[in-house]
Chain A
């Protein structure tokens, strides 16, 4: 390795600091905003730091508007999103988990056939996944709405789950195929010589060996499902089936909601996926690279 000259080292440090600023600075206002009261923010519109720090916004949102405390006691208007937050959080969790497991189950079967059973049409399936991944959701929202309406899937979590599984499945297949193709075919052959059927070899040898791939695919699908706005926005408009992104979108047209409260809801909405990404970074990184490069 070649050593670094002093100016070059300084330049690299500067570039790294700029990159770090780019990556995290936009999140600072969420934290600062959510930790203060409306009054504190209005008091000095030039100040960068809050004049007083409070957790009242979080208490209010997490209790669904019940735990008001001194700050919100006098407030007569609370956005509906505050009341709906606990339910929406639960809905988002149900949807994301159901979508993740269903998608992984179907995608791993398909990825196995693409990576292991080399028949001509499984290669076509790979191409199909590639094309399907590019289909813009905007094209689907109109027909999905009309179809779901006639099948009675509107305003149900099932409808949201079905739509998201279909949308995320091609991407999950693209992520999984490289993992399934990575280990030597001899492993499966050896198991089959020892008396396993293909199905048993898949369940006992290949799936356990693909755990890193399943983890990567799983966490990525979970995150994308947690982020999805358009599908639940169109398919599920009743309060009892709303997900977190939908109630967040509800804040947009609400001109009376104040930013401090809005940022608290935002922070609570982004924390689950942020924690997941930081905790399972290794898998997310490999999965994203695998899903974009090889097939």
Chain B
């Protein structure tokens, strides 16, 4: 419906969207393109001061692909993504199923607490776990010792595998609530008649879980897989706060590599831009692959 003297819907939409479009163009689109430009130029402190970025062709990418630490970071990132996304889905489903049965009142208590880890700032989460896992004073050692599970204190962050495990645990703790929330919402959308019918047909609770509930949750699990994979690919705060990439290079991940190359001496911004681009392409591919594989009936748009 349109009244005389009023802008047509199309033009009105354009006017109302101007702020958004300007913001997206300035803070997202242009910088992404600019990162591409930087990755083909030599950019370091000296060039930043002079404002002239000499063109170097593919030199940054060549250097990147020859850098062992870059490949190491990519491998760590893959391990990190696989572990965190799996745990987020499994723990998320388990907790969501637990709180969805309203017949025990404690489920209502659990529900109120779900978002607590989500509310913790990522960098605080990192510092908190660095304290938990500290070899001398940490509460992980204290608790395990009290329970009689260890006799000597373990140097969690001094061992490559254990350090990675601590970072994974910290990240999973903070991010799983998002999954719990979405699974819980989806579970509430399943009409109870479905279960009653299954029970009448003689299905055990276990059978209705595997044959009914989980298949019905597939679309939402796919959504969380896509979202969590892309975010997990670029984990930064917990790495910075818990291990700073250590011990040695053993918890270097892609985002940490980009940050360290561009913003720590020798400030190789061109190389950082190149690795950022590789990371963007990888995240994009991961998202695409998921959309294709698991999420054919796209409910999204």
Contacts and interface: CB of A to CB of B under 8 A. Distances in A.
Do A and B make up one complex? Answer: yes
Interface of A: 1-2, 4, 8-9, 12-13, 15-17, 19-20, 22-24, 26-30, 32-33, 41-42, 45-48, 105-107, 109-110, 112-113, 117-119, 121-123, 125-128, 130, 132, 134-147, 149-150, 162-163, 165-167, 169-170, 173, 189, 192, 197-198, 223, 226-227, 229-230, 234, 244-245, 248-249, 251-253, 259, 262-263, 266, 269-270, 273-274, 276-278, 281, 284-285, 288-289, 292-295
B17 A143 contact: no
B27 A130 contact: no
Interface in B38-68: 38, 43, 48, 51
Interface centre among A29, A244, A249, A273 (most CB of B within 10 A): A29
Nearest to A251: B127
Nearest to A262: B127
A6 to B, nearest CB: 12
Q: Which of A146, A276, A288 has the most CB of B within 10 A?
A: A146
B44 to A, nearest CB: 11
The 4 closest A-B pairs by CB, nearest first: A166-B27, A143-B31, A277-B119, A106-B19
B221 interface: no
Interface in B89-125: 91, 94-95, 98-99, 101, 103-104, 106-107, 109-110, 112-124
A146 B234 contact: no
A127 B301 contact: yes
Contacts, number: 307
B123 A248 contact: yes
Contact of B28 (A33, A112, A132): A132
Contacts of B136: 45
B103 A273 contact: no
A105, A142, A163, A294: most-surrounded residue (chain B CB, <10 A)? A142
B103 A1 contact: yes
Specify the main secondary structure of chain A where it touches its partner.
helix
A194 B196 CA distance: 50
Interface residues of B, number: 107
A106 B26 CA distance: 14
Interface stretch (B78-86, B178-186, B209-217): B178-186
> Does more than half of chain B's interface fall in helix, strand or loop, or is it mixed?
helix
Given A143-B273, A147-B34, A259-B134, A130 B95 contact: no
Nearest to A103: B23
Contacts of A276: 119
Contacts of A122: 13, 17
Nearest to B13: A113
A251 to B, nearest CB: 7
23 contacts: A4-B104, A15-B94, A16-B109, A19-B110, A22-B91, A23-B177, A33-B131, A107-B20, A110-B17, A130-B301, A136-B255, A139-B35, A139-B276, A140-B28, A141-B259, A167-B27, A192-B1, A234-B263, A273-B119, A276-B119, A277-B116, A292-B178, A292-B227
Contacts of B224: 292
Best-surrounded residue of B9, B128, B230, B241 (most CB of chain A within 10 A) = B128
B34 A146 contact: yes
A109 B113 CA distance: 34
Contacts of B262: 141-142, 145
B293 interface: no
A148 to B, nearest CB: 10
B20 A26 contact: no
Contacts of A48: 139, 142-143, 146
B128 A29 contact: yes
Contacts of A230: 236-237, 259
Interface of B: 1, 3, 6-7, 9-10, 12-13, 16-17, 19-20, 23-24, 26-28, 30-32, 34-35, 38, 43, 48, 51, 91, 94-95, 98-99, 101, 103-104, 106-107, 109-110, 112-124, 127-129, 131-132, 134, 136-139, 142-143, 145-146, 153, 173, 177-178, 181-182, 185, 192, 196, 199, 205, 220, 223-224, 227, 230, 233-234, 236-237, 240-241, 244, 254-255, 258-259, 262-263, 269, 272-273, 276-277, 279-280, 283-284, 287, 299-301
A167 B23 CA distance: 9
Contacts of B287: 134
A142 B142 contact: no
Contacts of B118: 277
Given A27-B116, A48-B142, A106-B23, 7 more contacts: A9-B103, A117-B10, A136-B279, A146-B34, A146-B48, A169-B20, A276-B119
B279 A245 contact: no
A288 to B, nearest CB: 6
A140 B115 contact: no
Contacts of A141: 258-259, 262-263, 276
Contacts of B104: 4, 9, 12-13, 16
A165 B142 contact: no
Contacts of B27: 140, 144, 162-163, 165-167
Contact of A113 (B17, B31, B99): B17
Nearest to B32: A139
B259 A198 contact: no
B221 to A, nearest CB: 12
Scoring A9, A28, A106 by chain B CB atoms within 10 A of each residue's CB, the highest score goes to A106
